[in-house]
Structure 1
Amino acid sequence: MTTSDSPDWERRLAAAWAELDSFEDPAAFRARIAGLVAERPADDPVGLFERGAAHDSTGEPEEAVRLYRRALAGGLTGLRRRRAVIQLASSLRNLGRPDRSVELLTEERAIPAERLDADETALTAAVDAFLALALADTGRDREALSLALGALSPLLPRYNRSLAHYAQDLLKTPQGS
């Protein structure tokens, strides 16, 4: 196990992320993450993802997109892979590419649950939520609302069945009706 694969590295990374809002200078936060990533091999997918997330979280979505793509192309796996897809799609939507966001998140949504671990499965509602935003930006409001309500329904203390049913009914009624 290298230093960068250690629980200590993950702990230090989590501590840096926990302090994100305390940084007045976004460049200082990006530098802190870059310093941690420098402990990993060059072009390491985890490092590329973490740098991308740092750029994304500090208002540089173009650089984030570039880094997320490199991380995914480099073989990023597990929970970070799923997060990278969600964050890439969100950044693309924010950059005026909701069509590409819909494509990415629709593909992600189609992954069978048995191929995902518990941490990845926990982000299923996030996939749906960001897909709903992208669908709304492409004028597919009823699909967006259906997804959002479907993701919300299991969280309600009551009316779960009814809300899930109504969410599906939205897809049966044509847009604009």
Structure 2
Amino acid sequence: MIPLPFHPDEYRSRLSAIRAEMARRNLDLLIVNDVANQHYITGYDGWSFYTPQMVLVPLADEEPVWIGRAMDAAGGLLTAWMKPENVVGFPEDHVQRTDRHPMDWIAAWIDRKDWGRGNIGIELEAYYYSPKAHARLTAGLPNAVFHDADLMVNWIRSVKSEAEIGYLR
């Protein structure tokens, strides 16, 4: 594992702030598409944003889940602070295909975790989150109500902790 810039407790503290805002907004699950926000939550560091990737933050669970391309999950295992089972790669046979999309697989994975119903917040303005990805995800989770959570993590990220201030110095 590559050394993290922060202790896992810093990431847990960030999650606490995110979950407090999720509770305030009545969100059961947060889907984070913005690459910088994914790094902020997990420590994941990779150039794999050319295919769909996201961090799932359930309101009730301890650790988030990073999901991305299977070949990029290896980088997640090296750079993210979570347990290995919380770094998930979707199959390579879903990449650059006309008959299937990574979001089809991701939606099914979310549904199997029983996270596919209720209120789901999602960053709709993330640069690499395409309209097709959103359409496939929402089609795969018909029991969910989606809410735009754009900039939610960004505003939380703007308030720096003592550890972050020390790192900046």
Provide TM-score, normalisation by structure 2.
0.29
Greater helix share, 1 or 2? Answer: 1
Greater strand share, 1 or 2? Answer: 2
Provide TM-score, normalisation by structure 1.
0.28
Q: Which has the larger radius of gyration?
A: 1
